[in-house]
């Protein structure tokens, strides 16, 4: 029995997404990996085809779809084996802040462009000295008449180079309680005082434009604040469930794809005697063991997807899933490289890139140690 109830419309959407991505995205991935950035035209193509911000209402140009449409796009994008076109971050992590907390004027101004791909978004939380500790951020926001003045630095910001619109978390220095001082602000590309720093060179995520951002007396209109002053921490916490769930979805889909590659390789590749690698007991058992772990992860994850889509509070379980799937992705990739043998370390094989890209997933959206800490707290430990 299937846990997730995909309708015929969902299935048709997945088919269309897979065909579009195979034709318009995948052929360019190698060039983007080499360039270490994804061109903005690719975002526009995704938007024009209806694969960005599928949850946004038709009123603002979106599909108005349920959460399963987001799941479908995320899973199909994983099949490209690259991370540069970070549609999941844009559509399901950043834009929901505007959709949920923005004023009507803010929604009208920004959401149509987010849907079309004309506006690429980023979320600036992490700082050089404050990673997962949001309460430790030092970037400041001070009111000056009808303006907000931002000062501070952010780092490891995905879409940091390409972004047209950045949601910036900053604190009011006059408020001592760190949980009541943080607010979120919309900062547009080209705003005086907003500058981009280094395009960071990373172990993986080569086509993802991860960057430093700097704000020096950056003056934005007061109406560019999202929600009430001091409500930023609560808004960030309210969206972490979906962010971590999306990370788990990406890791789970990657595991399934990697096993698919490895199974096909072992079935089709023979040794000197002509015997397929999959017929050797050690290889056979390894594939079965990995398939079992993947099925366990899929069952757990699909249950959480259904609960999240129904509006249920599953923060603890989502933290567990984020930890489980991203750790599984690391272990599984290493084991599959062993099964591929010497070919597994060649760049012509898809596994080295997957190994590099998946490694960071246990770190972002809250480290896996933080995920365990969240679960431990609710277990009364």
pLDDT tens string 232-264: 999 999 999 999 999 999 999 999 999 999 999
**Do 255 and 359 lie in a common domain?**
yes
Domain end position, chosen among 104, 119, 134: 119
Paired tokens of 211: 């960057």
305 with 359, same domain: the answer is yes
Based on the domain organization, do 97 and 134 belong to the same domain?
Answer: no
Q: Is residue 58 located within the same domain as residue 76?
A: yes
My answer on whether 225 and 338 are in the same domain is no
Mind listing the pLDDT tens digit for each residue in 35-73? Answer: 999 999 999 999 999 999 999 999 999 999 999 999 999
Q: Are residues 69 and 133 in the same domain?
A: no
Q: How many domains does the chain have?
A: 3
Same domain, 61 and 189: no
Confidence band for 340, pLDDT divided at 50, 70 and 90 = very high
Q: What pLDDT, on a 0 to 100 scale, did the predictor assign at position 131?
A: 66
Alpha-carbon distance 116 to 51, whole Å?
9
Residue 212 has pLDDT above 80, yes or no: yes
Name the domain boundary from 70, 104, 119. 119
What is the domain-level CATH number for residue 152? Answer: 2.40.110.10
Q: Are residues 161 and 248 in the same domain?
A: no
pLDDT number for residue 135:
73
pLDDT above 70: percentage of residues in the chain: 99
Judge whether 269 lies within some domain.
Answer: yes
Choose the final residue of a domain: 207, 230, 253: 230
CATH number of the domain at 78, please: 1.10.540.10
d(CA 184, CA 207): 27
State which residues form the domain around 211. 123-230
One domain for residues 146 and 269: no
243 is catalytic: yes
Residue 1 lies in a domain: no
> Do 91 and 61 belong to one domain?
yes
How many angstroms separate the CA atoms of 319 and 314, rounded?
8
Give me the pLDDT at residue 254, please.
Answer: 98
Together in a domain, 107 and 142: no
Please tell me whether residue 333 adopts helix, strand or coil conformation: helix
Query: Choosing from 127, 243, 256, 317, which is the catalytic residue?
Result: 243
Is there a single domain that holds both residue 137 and residue 204?
A: yes
């Amino acid at each position: 029995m299937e846990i997730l109830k995909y309708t015929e419309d969902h299935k048709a959407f997945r088919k269309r997404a897979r065909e579009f991505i195979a034709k318009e995205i995948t052929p360019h991935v190698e060039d983007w990996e080499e360039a270490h950035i994804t061109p903005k035209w690719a975002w526009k193509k995704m938007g024009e085809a209806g694969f960005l911000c599928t949850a946004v209402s038709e009123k603002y140009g979106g599909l108005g779809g349920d959460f399963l449409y987001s799941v479908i796009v995320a899973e199909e994008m994983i099949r490209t084996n690259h991370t540069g076109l970070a549609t999941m971050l844009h559509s399901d992590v950043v834009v929901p802040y505007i959709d949920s907390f923005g004023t009507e004027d803010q929604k009208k101004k920004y959401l149509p462009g987010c849907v079309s791909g004309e506006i690429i978004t980023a979320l600036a939380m992490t700082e050089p000295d404050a990673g997962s500790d949001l309460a430790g951020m030092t970037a400041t926001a001070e009111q000056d008449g009808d303006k907000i003045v931002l000062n501070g630095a952010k780092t490891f910001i995905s879409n940091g180079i390409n972004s047209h619109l950045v949601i910036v978390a900053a604190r009011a220095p006059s408020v001592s309680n760190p949980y009541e001082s943080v607010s979120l602000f919309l900062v547009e590309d080209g705003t005086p005082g907003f500058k981009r720093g280094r395009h960071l060179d990373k172990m993986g995520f080569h086509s993802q434009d991860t960057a430093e951002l700097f704000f020096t007396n950056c003056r934005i209109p007061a109406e560019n604040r999202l929600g009430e002053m001091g409500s930023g921490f609560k808004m960030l916490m309210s969206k972490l469930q979906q962010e971590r769930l999306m990370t788990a979805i990406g890791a789970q889909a990657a595991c399934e794809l990697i096993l698919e590659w490895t199974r096909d390789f072992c079935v089709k590749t023979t040794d000197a005697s002509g015997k397929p690698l999959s017929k050797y007991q050690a290889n056979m058992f390894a594939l079965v063991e990995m398939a079992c772990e993947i099925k366990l992860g899929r069952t757990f994850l699909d249950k959480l997807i259904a609960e999240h889509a129904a509006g249920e509070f599953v923060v603890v379980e989502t933290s567990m899933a984020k930890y489980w799937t991203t750790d599984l992705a690391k272990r599984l990739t290493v084991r599959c490289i062993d099964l591929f043998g010497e070919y597994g370390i060649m760049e012509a094989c898809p596994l080295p890139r997957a190994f590099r890209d998946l490694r960071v997933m246990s770190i972002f959206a809250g480290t896996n140690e933080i995920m365990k800490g969240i679960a431990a707290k609710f277990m009364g430990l």
